[in-house]
Structure 1
Amino acid sequence: MAYNISNDPFYSDLYFKRAFGYTFLENPYFHGFEFEKIGFTGWQEFMIENWKLAIYASVFYVITIFGLQRVMKNRPAFDLRKCLFVWNLAIGLASLVGFIRVFPAFLTVLSEQNGFYNSICVKKGLDIPSAYWAIVFACSKFLELGDTVFIVLRKRPLVFLQWYHHLVTLMVTWITAPLVEPIVRWYAVLNAFVHSFMYLYFALRAISVKIPSYVANFITTIQFSQMLVGFVVNMASWYLQHNGYGCVRYPLSINVFGFVYGTFILLFGKLFYDSVIKSGRKLKQKTKQG
């Protein structure tokens, strides 16, 4: 039975005003918790007015990590295992909760007639949990910059993929978030799914829990798969729009996500090849020789 929106002023306001240009779902399964009922349009306006915030943060981020790296050059590494455990556990659990909250609505849209097209092109069927966690998804990119600070303070190797990934993800996500494109469903769900595994894995590694190597390979595989799927859905939306289908995508968003996912495919593809394929071949050779 449909949820009676007249009993919830917040939900009723969203439904009838069509926040972000969407029709919000009435299904009670997707009814938001109290903490998910925030001023969505207020957040949208804040992001539009403060789009340069991501650029400022990115510049500060680059200066900070390379400055710290220089400072730490002749200093002993910090032992931050407990802090790193708490950090990764918190982000991992938040990602897991986010995935649980947004996946049902994502699956619902996909299962309807023309589901794939609707999921990337049509402003239809948004719900309170999905709207809330989309904002959390955008804001979390600032928080995730802290990953690199831990690497530098612990004097671990700082590879290009690590800091480049955080840098461009923050800028692209924050600047395009106010557009509230339907395709963001894909980006948010994929990101939350991968981060649920990745950060919880890092949390356990931080406290020296022994984990089979195939778990790390699995995480690398789903990371690479995320980039492939992200690139494919982005180009699919471009194709549909280019061929006359109504598709809510903006040129800026299509272009930057095409570039970002393209570079991620190259970088994560190399990581996947080195960590999974090449190491797997070496393991097979050792097994044969043994």
Structure 2
Amino acid sequence: MLETVKDRVLEVYDSLLAGRDPRLKDYLLMDSPVNMSAILLAYLFFVLYAGPRFMANRKPFQLKEAMIIYNLSLVGLSAYIVYEFLMSGWLTGYTWRCDPCDYSNSPQGLRMARVAWLFLFSKFIELMDTVFFVLRKKHSQITFLHIFHHSFMPWTWWWGVSYAPGGMGSFHAMVNSCVHVIMYFYYGLSAAGPRFQKFLWWKKYMTAIQLTQFVLVSLHATQWYFMKSCDYQVPLFIHLIWMYGTFFFVLFSNFWYQAYVKGKRLPKNTQQLAKNGKANGSTTVANGSSVVSNGHGVHENCLSNGKKHHENGSTLNGKMKKA
């Protein structure tokens, strides 16, 4: 019985691998799904178990220089990926509607396959986002959604690149890379220190940019459902892209509402509300912030729980108030 099940599983596995694009078989991590899955499992093990245990009795690492180099390097890489997507199809022949994948060995087809793989490889580089969080003990930013995005995105894109490196299914990769140019530029400036804070006034609009991304991706995928015919070779990817864009649009919309409509997001320069005895026992304690990433958005739920104000040996209990 077990041998029969094993044989059946291996048969399905072999049939899945048989349908892959042979042009990518020699690219790094593309020989089989085993290696990339092992990397993602190691990532989860470090982020959820090994990393926190290693940092438990240690002070947070100061990684300012490393983070600046890392973020600005991703700005350059993302910009290059956008350029290659444009030059390999999106500005040189694609209709922006039903565009099939080019499986030929033409220069254009090979260029698109190469940049599709490069986008996938960038997702593995971006796993360092969470590693930096762990080493800096930014535990509140390591949320389920952040981890889900960073692990699920490269895993699904491995299959996407393996079967259809290009065509209309690559639109969301190009848009995502555009957003990452802006996003990692912001992170690079933020990591550079307080003297650059005055240049980060547009932080609020990062969420708007993310929302625009998801709208564009979902609308582009939605076209497929209204076409009389479309010869894109792997429609399953269109369904997944549509669901992915819609799912994250809902999440980011909720953050926008909570942070900017209800006003639960507190600017850093207003964290201290009591000074020189002028605060009658009330300040704000920020409980929890979560970062989602490229997708990457910041979800902050701020609760005002009061703060004890000690003066001349007496304790004044602060009242709760909304931020």
TM-score using structure 2 length:
0.64
Question: Which runs of 5 or more structure 2 residues have no equivalent in the other structure?
Answer: 1-19, 271-323
Match of 1:5 in 2: none
2:137 to 155, 179, 188: 155
Structure 1 contact 230–261 (Cα < 8 Å) conserved: yes
> What amino acid does structure 1 have at the position aligned with 2:73?
A
Match of 2:69 in 1: 86
Match of 1:225 in 2: 212
Count of residue pairs brought into register by the alignment:
239
> What amino acid does structure 1 have at the position aligned with 2:56?
K
2: CA distance, partners of 1:154 / 1:275: 25
Match of 2:160 in 1: 176
Moved more, 49-58 or 150-159: 49-58
- Percent sequence identity is 23
Structure 1 contact 99–189 (Cα < 8 Å) conserved: yes
Query: What SS is found at the alignment partner of 2:56?
Result: helix
1:58-69 superposed matches below 5 A: 58-67=40-49, 68-69=51-52
Structure 1 contact 228–261 (Cα < 8 Å) conserved: yes
> What amino acid does structure 2 have at the position aligned with 1:145?
L
Match of 1:97 in 2: 80
Match of 1:262 in 2: 246
2: CA distance, partners of 1:83 / 1:269: 32
Match of 1:31 in 2: none
Question: Which runs of 5 or more structure 1 residues have no equivalent in the other structure?
Answer: 1-19, 22-38
TM-score using structure 1 length:
0.70
| Aligned residues: CA RMSD | 3.2
1:99: Cα distance to partner? 1.7
2: CA distance, partners of 1:254 / 1:218: 28
Identify the structure with bigger relative contact order (alpha carbons < 8 Å, sequence gap 6+): 1
Q: 2:62 aligned with 1:74, yes or no?
A: no
For residues 186-223 of structure 1, give each alpha carbon's deviation from its aligned partner in whole angstroms, at most 9, with x where no partner exists: 12220211111111111111111214454212222112
* Greater per-residue helix proportion: 1
Query: What SS is found at the alignment partner of 1:210?
Result: helix
Structure 1 contact 168–260 (Cα < 8 Å) conserved: no
Structure 1 contact 172–256 (Cα < 8 Å) conserved: no
Moved more, 129-138 or 143-152: 129-138
* Greater per-residue strand proportion: 2
1:53: Cα distance to partner? 3.3
1:273: Cα distance to partner? 3.0
